[in-house]
Amino acid sequence: MNKSSAKSYPLLFLVPAGIIYVTLFLIPTLASLGFSMTRWTLAAATFTGLDNFAMFFSEPSLNIGLRNTLIYAVMTSVSKVVLGFLLAVLLTSSLRTKNALRAVIFFPTLVSTIAVGIIFSHLLHPSMGAVNQGLALVGIQGPNWLGDPHFALVSVALVDVWKGVGTALVIFVAGILAIPPTYYEALAIDGGSSWHKLVHLTLPLSWPATSAVILLSFIGGLRSFDLVWAMTGGGPGFATDLVASIIYKQYQAGFYGLATAGNVILVLLVLALALPLQKLLSLREVDL
Amino acid sequence: MTKSLRRIVLELVIAAATVAIFIGPLLFAAFSAGMTATEAANLGFRLPKNPQYLANLAAVVKASNYMMLRAFGNSVVITVFTLLVLVVVASLAGFVLERRRCRTVSVARFLILIGLMLPPSVITTIWVMKAIGIYKSLAGLVLVEVALGFPYTVILYRAFVATIPRELDEAALMEGVRPWQLFARIVFPLLKPVTATTIVLSSVNVFNDFVNPLYFLPGAKNVTVPLTLYNFMTQYTTQWNLLFADVMLISLPPLICFLFFNRQIVAGMTAGAVKG
């Protein structure tokens, strides 16, 4: 780039954003690598090597968070991708109410997560909640959704899907609407079935949207905290504890070094899973 | 049954099911918010017998020495200042990051991509905030919200700057316009669609944010709206009508935002994801 254009776009314009971003995101991220290897009170830190990490992986009340986080991230992202795609296909068809229904499905994404958690923990009440009352009407005795360790994590994940599928939907709708109509016209002339249309046209050509939804919802799932915290607080026992809720608990208990190690583990988890996933997804990209 | 009639019935079924699933739970909260404490206690999904919305809302507002009002005040201040700072710094940065080609810019772009993906490290952020004296302050939380919202916002701005022809800059510079004038008078006004999207999308996110105030703004004096809800959850274990009145009160701002700005919200979410 020549000198005069470098002067027209001064690096000075990056400084205000740079100061804030470096101070409050990059420095804390780098510092976390160091403090994760200490016993830390915010005032003083004692180096303890990899003890915190060893503890995170060996202590059952901590490593259950790793397992739960993986299960939760996979469950929520797969459901959001599949449901979001099917709903988007339905709501880009000739359905008369499609615009209104898109808005209806999208609205929960704007409601406070804590509010959603409160609403659903009451709807899922084992005896009085509307869900089990409804099931009782058709003769099914519903489980204790949030109190039974076998169901709790799945229940929270389902609520997460209810709240978040709207985001997946609008991204898929944008992806599907970006497919040039000529492709569909060509297929119509050749006489392809609607199944053929879905699998060989809509699915591959909306791939950029699909990979965006997979990545966004998977990374979001790995980082989840507030919904679990509002609905179960990590319980019963540790059945719904995620890495992020364990970080908060350790922070409350004053184990800052251990909590920071949890944060580093979360970072590594995102890097180890999301980066290869992104590579894999971009390989399948088709050009329009 | 004729084919078109069958189609209408099918469409009605789809519409009714969607509304029941996605609006039903919110209606349950809205109904319970108008009940008496005894009526709400059995968690029935029905209209309140003698609606007492005003009394319940008033009780929520007055609770804990008008904590709700203080929380709304705090949340509004935090949201407004976050948006002001975010729009200014992200548009300035987005402009230069898109137009300029040099090593610094490539490094900066890479660092921004990292921020888009990685979870922030909370406790070391507290440590930094303490060191510079902004921990437990509204200003501190505003700066954290800006830092964490910056990567996504700057990508939206960059993508939009790319659609503005470079010739426009060159013509203006030829006329002897200074770079900051070029940005402030010519480019920034053209970025209005992204600015609108950012304002709508980030205001909902920042207003609803629970995690960052939980860590970075503890203390009853500094409470924000989602935190009052969290406090009430443990406090109102016997007065679910008031808990749901609070839920309703908190869901109103995003609902209003949605009714007016649905298009900007959707544009923002899809632009970042599909083109980003």
pLDDT tens, residue by residue, B91-137: 999 999 999 989 999 999 999 988 988 999 999 999 999 999 999 99
B129–A contact, CB cutoff 8 A: yes
Residues 6 or more apart whose Cβ sits within 8 Å of residue B86? B145, B146, B149, B150, B153, B198, B202
Shortest alpha-carbon distance between residue B255 and chain A (Å): 8
Considering CB atoms only, which of A113, A125, A128 is closest to B210? Answer: A113
Buried/exposed code over B249-273 (b: 16+ C-beta within 10 A; e: otherwise): bbbebbeebbeebbebbbbbbbbbb
Residues 6 or more apart whose Cβ sits within 8 Å of residue B241? B32, B33, B34, B35, B36, B37, B39, B40, B56
Chain B residues within 8 A of A107 when measuring between CB atoms: 22-23, 26, 255, 258
Number of domains in chain B: 1
Residue in B closest to A21 by C-alpha:
B147
Predicted confidence at residue B161, as pLDDT, reads 93
Burial of A49 (0-12, 13-18, 19+ CB in 10 A): exposed
Per DSSP, the residues of B212-241 read HHHHHS-SGGG--HHHHHHHHHHH-SS-HH
- Which B residues 213-242 touch A at CB under 8 Å? 214-215, 225-226, 229-230, 233, 240
Residues 6 or more apart whose Cβ sits within 8 Å of residue B91? B157, B188, B191, B194, B195
Count CB atoms within 10 A of the CB of residue B235. Answer: 14
Q: Is the pLDDT assigned to residue B173 strictly greater than 50?
A: yes
Question: Is the distance from CB of B196 to CB of B91 less than 8 angstroms?
Answer: no
Predicted confidence at residue B276, as pLDDT, reads 37
**For chain B, the helix, strand and coil percentages under 3-state DSSP, each to the nearest 5:** 80, 0, 20
Question: Is the distance from CB of A233 to CB of A213 less than 8 angstroms?
Answer: no
Residues 6 or more apart whose Cβ sits within 8 Å of residue B190? B164
pLDDT in tens for each of the 288 residues of chain A? 455 567 789 999 999 999 999 999 999 999 999 999 999 988 888 899 899 999 889 988 898 999 999 999 999 999 999 999 999 999 998 888 888 899 899 989 999 999 999 999 999 998 888 898 889 889 888 899 999 999 999 999 999 999 999 999 999 998 898 888 888 888 888 877 888 888 888 888 888 888 889 998 999 999 999 999 999 988 898 999 999 999 999 999 999 999 999 999 999 999 999 888 888 887 776 554
pLDDT tier at B252 (50, 70, 90 boundaries)? confident
Shortest alpha-carbon distance between residue B142 and chain A (Å): 10
Helix runs in chain A, H state only: 3-8, 15-21, 27-35, 51-58, 60-90, 98-106, 113-123, 130-137, 152-177, 181-190, 194-197, 203-205, 207-223, 226-231, 243-252, 256-283
Greater pLDDT, B264 or B202: B202
Shortest alpha-carbon distance between residue A174 and chain B (Å): 7
Burial of A279 (0-12, 13-18, 19+ CB in 10 A): exposed
Residue in A closest to B118 by C-alpha:
A267
Greater pLDDT, A59 or B81: B81
Residue in A closest to B92 by C-alpha:
A13
> Between chain A and chain B, how many beta carbons pairs sit less than 8 Å apart?
266
Burial of A139 (0-12, 13-18, 19+ CB in 10 A): exposed
- Which B residues 184-203 touch A at CB under 8 Å? none
Element (H, E) at A46: strand A45-47
Q: How is chain A split into domains, by residue range?
A: 48-283
Predicted confidence at residue A231, as pLDDT, reads 94
Nearest to B49 by CA among B57, B62, B61, B37: B37
Predicted confidence at residue A105, as pLDDT, reads 94
- In CATH terms, A48-283 corresponds, of 1.10.340.70, 1.10.3720.10, 1.10.101.10, 3.40.50.300, to 1.10.3720.10
Q: Which residues on adjacent β-strands are paired with residue A38?
A: A47
Q: Is the pLDDT assigned to residue B220 strictly greater than 80?
A: no
Question: Is the distance from CB of B236 to CB of B242 less than 8 angstroms?
Answer: yes
Are B121 and A267 a contacting pair at CB < 8 A? yes
Nearest to B179 by CA among A8, A13, A2: A8
Whether B234 maps to a domain, the answer reads yes
A238/A59 Cα distance (integer angstroms)? 12
Question: Residue B154 CA to chain centroid, in angstroms?
Answer: 16
Q: Is B133 left (phi over 0), alpha (psi -120 to 50) or beta?
A: left
What are the tokens at A20? Answer: 């804030």
Are A263 and B183 a contacting pair at CB < 8 A? no
- Provide the CATH number for the domain around residue B212: 1.10.3720.10
Predicted confidence at residue A1, as pLDDT, reads 45
- Check the CA dihedral B257-B259-B260-B266 and report its sign: positive
pLDDT tier at B273 (50, 70, 90 boundaries)? low
B65: containing domain: 33-275
What are the tokens at A247? Answer: 């970080």
Question: Is the distance from CB of B201 to CB of B264 less than 8 angstroms?
Answer: yes
- Which B residues 155-174 touch A at CB under 8 Å? 169, 173
Nearest to B30 by CA among B254, B208, B244, B242: B244
Question: Residue B127 CA to chain centroid, in angstroms?
Answer: 26
Residue in A closest to B202 by C-alpha:
A110
- Which B residues 12-41 touch A at CB under 8 Å? 14-15, 18-19, 21-23, 25-26, 28-29, 32
CA distances from A148 to A75, A126, A235, B171, B237 (A): 18, 10, 9, 68, 21
CA distances from A204 to A91, A217, B220 (A): 18, 19, 52
Q: Is the pLDDT assigned to residue B62 strictly greater than 50?
A: yes
Percent of chain B with pLDDT over 70: 97
Percent of chain B with pLDDT over 90: 54
State chain B's mean pLDDT as an integer: 89
Chain B residues within 8 A of A115 when measuring between CB atoms: 29, 226, 229, 247, 250-251
Predicted confidence at residue A32, as pLDDT, reads 95
Residue in A closest to B244 by C-alpha:
A119
Predicted confidence at residue B44, as pLDDT, reads 82
Shortest alpha-carbon distance between residue B49 and chain A (Å): 18
Are A248 and B15 a contacting pair at CB < 8 A? no
Backbone angles phi, psi at A145, to 5 degrees: -50, -50
Mutate to test the interface with B, among A12, A112, A215 (most CBs of B within 10 A): A112
Whether B5 maps to a domain, the answer reads no
Whether B225 maps to a domain, the answer reads yes
Question: Is the distance from CB of A136 to CB of A142 less than 8 angstroms?
Answer: yes
Residue in B closest to A119 by C-alpha:
B29
Q: Which of A170-174, B34-38, B73-77, B192-196 has the highest mean pLDDT?
A: B73-77
Whether B12 maps to a domain, the answer reads no
Burial of B61 (0-12, 13-18, 19+ CB in 10 A): middle
Chain A residues within 8 A of B229 when measuring between CB atoms: 112, 114-115, 118
